[in-house]
Copies of this chain bind each other. A is one copy, B any other.
Amino acid sequence: MSAPENRNGLPVLSVAESGPSERAAERGDAARNRVLLLDAARRLVDERGADSVTTDDIANAAGVGKGTLFRRFGSRAGLMIVLLDEDEKAQQHALLFGPPPLGPGAPPLERLLAYGRHRLKFVDTHHALLSDVGRDPQMRFNAPMTLHHSHVRLLLDEAETTGDLDAQAAALLALLDADYVHHQRTDLGRSLESIADAWETVARKLCGT
């Protein structure tokens, strides 16, 4: 069967499979599936830890086919990076625009201490994701870590901390590194609370209080 022709004898492209409204619906489905998959993955990672969550688990929990997961995210790692990225963005929003003492409005030292405890919980929850990403030294020191560095450096500066602020910010962030915290938790059996307290003593010393 030849392609249909319009009145001018030029071929007409078939729109039966992908007309404007179908394409919009497809985009809507894609967006919906993306949200379903990310929500399911976030829930499963929270419940079991990232290491124990497979693509089958995520697709099943989201109620979509595994092929859809791979079409949307390329791979399990791709989905996990998007997940981490969304959670990082939510945390960054809380730091910059959220209520005090994490967000603006509290004295700088108070904000810094709130940041330490908040970030510690974050890296503990997201350990498996952050550890994967952090294995690459480019990721350990470049974006998105530069935002955390700038944030800590700014608070040190606002707290009128003396000395090399970049080195001090780097030192404080190293104590919030996902692998370091994981090592403290699993190899040394320390509680999150005691790691947070230790971090606070270092932060207070650097701020001279």
Contacts and interface: CB of A to CB of B under 8 A. Distances in A.
Nearest to A174: B174
A205 B206 CA distance: 6
Given A164-B198, A171-B171, A174-B170, A179 B135 contact: no
Contacts of A180: 140-141, 170, 174
Contacts of A24: none
A172 interface: yes
Interface string A64-81: 000000000000000000
A168 interface: yes
Nearest to A207: B205
Nearest to A141: B183
A142 interface: yes
Interface residues of A, number: 32
Interface string A166-209: 11101110110101101100010000000001110110111010
A183 to B, nearest CB: 4
Given A174-B174, A174-B175, A177-B174, A202 B141 contact: no
A181 to B, nearest CB: 11
Interface of A: 131, 135, 137, 140-142, 162-164, 166-168, 170-172, 174-175, 177, 179-180, 182-183, 187, 197-199, 201-202, 204-206, 208
8 contacts: A135-B137, A137-B182, A140-B180, A167-B198, A167-B199, A174-B174, A205-B205, A205-B208
